[in-house]
Amino acid sequence: MIRILLLMVALIGVTGTAHARPASTGFFAEGGLGAVYVLPPKSGEAAVGPAIQLRLGRDLFSWVSIGGYVAVSSHEATVPPPPEGEWFQLYRFGGDMRLGGRANSIAFFIEGGIGGTLISSNVLEKVMTVEPGERFSITFHGGGGLEYQLENRHYALGAAVDGFFAPQFDKLTAIDSRIYLRYTYGGG
């Protein structure tokens, strides 16, 4: 994982900023759709679930931005019966920083941050993923992705993959993948 991050940072440093198709910088909003996959050893307790995410933030420079996010994913609990057919949601929120670079119309980035996760149900108490009455965990996340700048410099389409870790939920780890549309309000 460290090698991949170092390779992405090296690519960012080599690519620099493109002048052929300038992207807007300023305040931005991103809306994304994707899926969340819970990693082993907890993957047997939760099925892959659809996810939606909203990000708001500000580009400080063309290569660094800060922001906040809210996300929700819905998962079928795959615990031994009873109960059967139960679902739960993971509500995530937090702040992060994104570092990136651009090569013409393609931008590469790495991101990471901290936040929290709420779980909607006690269905995972049966397998001790959550303790009785426990519904909140601090969350750490990091990942990367790429973005395609559309002809209109305010819009971009992107794809990202982040891993997140919720230590209070019996060290639950998961992968969050998404595709998104980004709108940047600003001319700089």
> Which parts of the chain have pLDDT scores under 50?
5-6, 14, 16-19
State the DSSP code for 153: T
Fold of 2-185: Porin (2.40.160)
- Return the pLDDT at 19: 47
Q: Measure the CA–CA gap between 111 and 27, rounded to whole angstroms.
A: 17
- Return the pLDDT at 46: 83
- What mean pLDDT value characterizes the chain? 85
Q: Are 187 and 152 in contact (CB under 8 A)?
A: no
Closest alpha carbon to 108 in 34, 19, 4, 184? 4
- Return the pLDDT at 17: 45
C-alpha to C-alpha distances, 41 to 30, 37, 116, 117, nearest whole angstrom? 32, 12, 21, 19
Q: What residues does each domain of the chain span?
A: 2-185
What pLDDT digit, counting tens, does each position of 51-102 carry?
Answer: 999 999 999 998 999 999 999 999 988 777 777 778 889 999 999 999 999 8
- Return the pLDDT at 18: 43
